[in-house]
Chain A
Amino acid sequence: MSGDGPYWLREHRGTLLAFAGFVVMFTIYATNHPAGLDANVATTAANKGVLLAIVAMAQTLVVLTSGIDLSVGAVMVLANCLASGIVIGSPLMSALGVIGVLLVGALCGAINALIVIFGRLQPIVVTIASGAVYYGAALALRPVPGGDVDTALADALTGQLPGGVPASLVVLLAVVAIVWLPFRRSVIGRAAYAVGSSEIAAYMSGVPIRRAKFVAYTLSGLLASMAGLFVTFITYTGEASAANASTYTLYSIAAVVLGGVSLFGGSGSAVGAIFGAFMFRTIGDLLFVFNVEPLWQPLFQGIVLAAAVCLGAARLLRVRNRLDLYG
């Protein structure tokens, strides 16, 4: 990494820009916050940010293969409803419940993968339809909001560590270390990038296309269910909320784009998406800090989001040849 700095910089430009954008925004936020940056403010901000960051990571894995997963929100809601029923009781029962929720999430992702790979259908359509099925399953589990969760576990993961560090940030680091880094460094991970860059070229080079897609979608489902668990830990209940499902799906796409991941596939990283998610959350908090009238907040949030996302995605700024525009 040390010898080829310029290449490294170019490859990670999106991630670095997202990181810089987040740092700038968060500094403005923290220095202008009426109460200053105390541990409670940081914990609340971190919990909201980490939740979206995990959903954004789930979206990233699929987007890297030049697909799109419109069912991440539905899987998250399904995991939330399931967790509010089974993550309770003795520590052993809770642990088994967590594993059960994660397995269901991975299963949802695997079903998406199988339909995309063997059904030869477009991911966007498949995940629209499978999202409806997963949301239906969530409704079946929780027709009305309710349920309960292991409070000790929930508080441990959403509270503060000694020293005031938000525990959710440690959870996020663990997720990156356990899911993203091994994926990125494995042959399958490279294959996922190759598929996203050019599926034909990857096929011709004998890259394991099917395995790469299968792993990407399955891990995406797994991450989405982790986000669902986190929702349960924050709210202590399960709710089959259609609004949550569609909002988080759409926000995850915004976070991915802000994080410098190309929607055409093959470039970007989940770390970028995490900072994209943090940046997205900070935009909302900034408006709160600056006392923008609540009525105008959605409009300002929309405009800031539009500006950021469009700048990040405008290909006009990168083309060297006019014909490149029409690729």
Chain B
Amino acid sequence: MAEAPSRREQNGRAAGSSSPGTRRRIDPAIAWAFGCIGLVLLVGSLYSSSFLSPQYLLQQLKVASFLGVIATGAMIVILLGQIDLSVPWVVAAGGMMATAATGWGPLGEILAIPVGIGCGVALGLISGVGVAFLRIPSMVVTLAMNAVAQGLMIVHTGGFSPQDASSPAMRVIATGDTILGIPNAVLVWAVVGVAAVFLLTRTTFGRTVYAIGNRERAAYLSGARTRLVVTAAFALAGGLSALGGVLLAGYASKAAQAMGDPYLLPAIAAVVLGGTSILGGRGSYLGTVAGVILITLLQSILSVMQMPEFGRHVTYGIVIIAMLLIYGRGRRYSE
């Protein structure tokens, strides 16, 4: 029989070989993901030589950094073995509240970015409490939170007609470049990424996240403060989604209601393509970076090749399934 084993079985086996920091071998998933990035670039360069130009690559990295920040939050939640479906409207809330704060005057302009992120943290915190303390499945609680965030934002825009133009600071972090022509958005992603790697591999919080993803009951019995960690992880994910929204609003110089919609599924796909198990407890940040870049490049190249929109959706879906069939398969019962 070749059935996918249950969550418990698979995680139990994976636990020994996959704790962060002890791995020395290169994860095949990450190697495959980077290999595919090379392949996509190669195919692109056959089509047009400008694909390998530094400008194009930097531009792609800049576009990727929005998805990268959002996917970082998604990854932390997925490592717990949970899922965050509230990404679309938390992203929108982050962007819209930041631009709204800009309209409050000079003080608001300074506070715009923290206000946006703060709203995301608050929304994530509520989801986290629902998952950790009320034990509601994360899929349900984040779905409901998405609906509530949508309602709040509609009341806010309709009732108070807040400013939707972004502050100068938001535009600088999303579109400017300060050092050696590297876009600031890429620097923001780099800072978020380094912080995430440190948090996941060098702190008690990170170890506990992996432990909970492997088996929550065992983590609880070993004295880990599982409920606080789960709550904090969701709050962190909410904050990162909102930061993504702040960046997007800065990039487009305004916030819009549907701005977060195209980021939910690509964020999950990027995390999973990077080798993180959707069941939790297994995965590294490098893989997520590879997944984000791969998805961004794929979308960009398909649109540059002027493939009609339907073809882009079809190719996108087929590539994800094909890559996962190569390296993301579960184990057989007999193994």
Contacts and interface: CB of A to CB of B under 8 A. Distances in A.
Nearest to B271: A125
25 contacts: A119-B321, A119-B324, A120-B3, A121-B321, A124-B268, A125-B324, A128-B269, A128-B320, A129-B321, A130-B321, A132-B316, A136-B315, A199-B3, A200-B5, A298-B147, A298-B154, A303-B151, A309-B140, A313-B136, A316-B135, A323-B217, A323-B220, A325-B135, A326-B216, A326-B219
Contact of B140 (A118, A263, A300, A303): A263
A301 B147 contact: yes
Contact of A120 (B217, B315, B332): B332
Contact of A209 (B1, B269, B313, B320): B1
Contacts of A299: 148, 151-152, 154-155
Contacts of B6: 198-200
A295 B161 CA distance: 12
Interface string A257-271: 100000110000000
Contacts of A298: 147, 150-151, 154-155
Interface of B: 1-6, 9, 83, 85, 130, 133-137, 139-141, 143-152, 154-155, 158-159, 216-217, 219-221, 226, 261, 265, 268-269, 272, 278-279, 308-318, 320-321, 324-325, 328-333
Nearest to A67: B4
Contact of A263 (B135, B139, B320): B139
A143 B310 contact: yes
Contacts of A295: 154-155, 158-159
A295 B156 CA distance: 9
A135 to B, nearest CB: 5
A199 B5 CA distance: 7
A263 B155 CA distance: 31
A240 B324 CA distance: 27
A253 B309 CA distance: 28
Chain B: interface secondary structure?
helix
Given A250-B85, A264-B137, A326-B216, A310 B144 contact: yes
Interface of A: 68, 115-122, 124-126, 128-133, 135-140, 143, 198-200, 203, 209-210, 246, 250, 253-254, 257, 263-264, 295-303, 305-306, 309-310, 313-316, 319, 323, 325-327
Nearest to A140: B310
A125 B268 contact: yes
Nearest to A295: B158
B3 A121 contact: no
Contacts of B83: 124
A246 B261 contact: yes
A120 B144 contact: no
A122 B140 contact: no
A306 B130 CA distance: 11
A151 B155 CA distance: 39
A121 B314 contact: no
A139 B136 contact: no
A125 B330 CA distance: 13
Given A128-B320, A133-B318, A120 B2 contact: yes
A129 B320 contact: yes
B306 to A, nearest CB: 15
A83 to B, nearest CB: 18
Contacts of A263: 137, 139-140
Contacts of A257: 140
Contacts of B5: 199-200
A253 B154 contact: no
B316 to A, nearest CB: 5
Contacts of B145: 306
A121 B139 contact: no
Contact of A139 (B133, B309, B331): B309
A68 B1 contact: no
A326 B145 CA distance: 23
B278 A124 contact: yes
A254 B154 contact: no
Contacts of A315: 135-136
